[in-house]
Structure 1
Amino acid sequence: MTLFQRSPQAMSAEVGADVVALHAERGFAFGMEGVTASVWQLLDRPRSLAEIVAGLRLEYDVEEDQCRDEVGALLADLRDEGLIDEVTE
């Protein structure tokens, strides 16, 4: 099973309901709000895509398939930016 977790290189801070994440080595900031900030909060520990989707569906009114597709794309973007890592369990 693949789990997703925040990269040790990523530092973040909450700004109200939003989150700003900074990649220490790359020196860029990534602003997150709404669902994206919720995903980041769920990544406080390693989680599977299914766990993230389940957590979001408790907070938002969204169909499971749509949520899974959109969260999968977001996780790929965050991974490509170096903000999260994938861990195979």
Structure 2
Amino acid sequence: MSATYRRTAATMSTEVGDDVVALQADRGFAYGMEQVTASVWKLLEQPRDLDALVGALTAEYEVDEDECRHEVGALLERMTAEGLVEQVQ
């Protein structure tokens, strides 16, 4: 079973058009997210695992499923390291 991810409670965000701006006030960092990264962030409004994210993204974008899985997995690792998302299982 793959890990489920969710946004951290310490991260606030707002949509600006199709983009997202996220803020971690306690760390003093702001993040701009565009296109696929913004889509992943929006999908993580509810906890989701990698399979659910890949399914939603391959339906929205023309991308190979294996490439999408690899890229989204790497994105989730970076977002976790930055404290934007966390694993819930």
TM-score, reference length from structure 2 = 0.96
TM-score, reference length from structure 1 = 0.96
Residue 83 of structure 2 aligns to a residue in which SS? coil
**What are the ranges of 5 or more consecutive residues in structure 1 without an aligned counterpart?**
none
1 CA distance for matches of 2:78 and 2:33?
12
Letter in 2 for 1:39: V
Post-superposition Cα deviations, 1:26-68, rounded to whole Å, max 9, x if no partner, equal: 1100100000000001001110000000000110000010000
Partner of 2:31: 30
For this pair of structures, how many residues does the alignment match? 88
Partner of 1:68: 69
**What are the ranges of 5 or more consecutive residues in structure 2 without an aligned counterpart?**
none
User: Where does structure 1 differ by over 6 angstroms across 4 or more consecutive aligned residues?
Assistant: none
Matched, 1:8 2:9: yes
Give identity over the alignment, percent: 57
Cα-Cα RMSD: 0.7
